[in-house]
Amino acid sequence: MDGHLEELLAFYALGGLTDAERAQVEAYVASNPEAKSRLEAMIQTTSALAYEAAPVKPPAALKKTLMDRVNADARTRSASVRQSPAPGRSRLLGLLQPRAGNWLPHAVAALSLLVALGAGGWALSLSNEIARLQTETNALRQELAAQRRVLAQLAAPNAQVIAIAGTEHQPGAHGQLIADSQTGSAVLVVAGLRPLGSGNVYQFWLIRGNTPVGAGLFRVDEQGQAILQVTQNVTPSAFNAIGVSIEPEGGSDQPTGDIVMLGNVF
């Protein structure tokens, strides 16, 4: 029996530990069935404390709002199941898979090119080609890192996925904001946006009431795809909509160009 960790059990049950302390307790009880049993009894006792507060019936409108949201979600799920088992993820993976598969051809091409150039003694060409490949490799590394961030975000226990769709300006655009409500980190994944000319960028907005807050700038590739690590701390319950607009290079304090994507946070 670990005296220090035993002392923490009651506060674990009462929710009065730091994250690190909680992790220590969880590791302790995982290998100590007796301690686990003691902790479960404490948690059961603690959950009774909720009844200490006098029950208060929430307003009827609250239930209606919740059930409208739930029923809409149930319809969406039902429609999604008819189309594919997991449309959100499969669409995302659809974005990712072709890119992941591009590594091998790039690597083979690079190697072949290096051998050919080396045999011919084209030193200048070789140097240029190496520079080009390094640039391409760096770009692919960045892309892979972005994709890993998305996958990590999806795997987070508190991951919340919010859909965003193209407006009349770019109806073919679609995407998802994947937010971890516990850590506040979020990633925006978009596809179907038109590549912009120089001098313009896409800007992502979190909208609280009528107030948009800039949450990152991005450009899309030739396929209209992009992954943005959102720069603002995202708590989905703290805002009611998300959007994307076209802004001058460097971004704006408020949307000034066309709003090309919008999504509601229910």
Partner 1 sequence: MGGDELNDEQLMSRVTQGDTAALERLYDRYSPAAMGLALKITGDRATAEEVVQETFWRVWRKAESFHIQRGAFTSWVFSIVRNLSIDSLRRRMRAQPIGEAEQSVDQVPDPEADVAEAAWLGVKHQQVRAAIATLPVEQRHVIEMAYFSGMTRQEIAQATGEPLGTIHTRARLALQKLREALLVQGFDE
List residues binding partner 1 (CB under 8 A): 7-11, 13-18, 40-59, 62-63, 65-67, 69-71, 73-74, 77-78, 157, 160, 237
Q: Residue 104: in which H helix or E strand, if any?
A: helix 103-120
Rounded to 5°, the CA angle 76-78-82 comes to: 115
137 vs 181, which CB is nearer to partner 1?
181
44 vs 223, which CB is nearer to partner 1?
44
Per-residue DSSP letters for 25-36?
HHHHHHT-HHHH
CA distance 161 to 234: 12
Closest C-alpha to 254, from 192, 188, 221, 210 = 210
Q: In the complex, what is the shortest distance from the CB of residue 195 to partner 1, in angstroms, rounded to a whole number?
A: 35
Q: In the complex, what is the shortest distance from the CB of residue 210 to partner 1, in angstroms, rounded to a whole number?
A: 18
CA distance 136 to 220: 16
CA distance 185 to 179: 6
Q: In the complex, what is the shortest distance from the CB of residue 226 to partner 1, in angstroms, rounded to a whole number?
A: 26
Q: In the complex, what is the shortest distance from the CB of residue 253 to partner 1, in angstroms, rounded to a whole number?
A: 24
24 vs 46, which CB is nearer to partner 1?
46
Q: In the complex, what is the shortest distance from the CB of residue 175 to partner 1, in angstroms, rounded to a whole number?
A: 20
- What the block records as the tokens of 120 is 């011919």
8 vs 226, which CB is nearer to partner 1?
8
54 vs 124, which CB is nearer to partner 1?
54
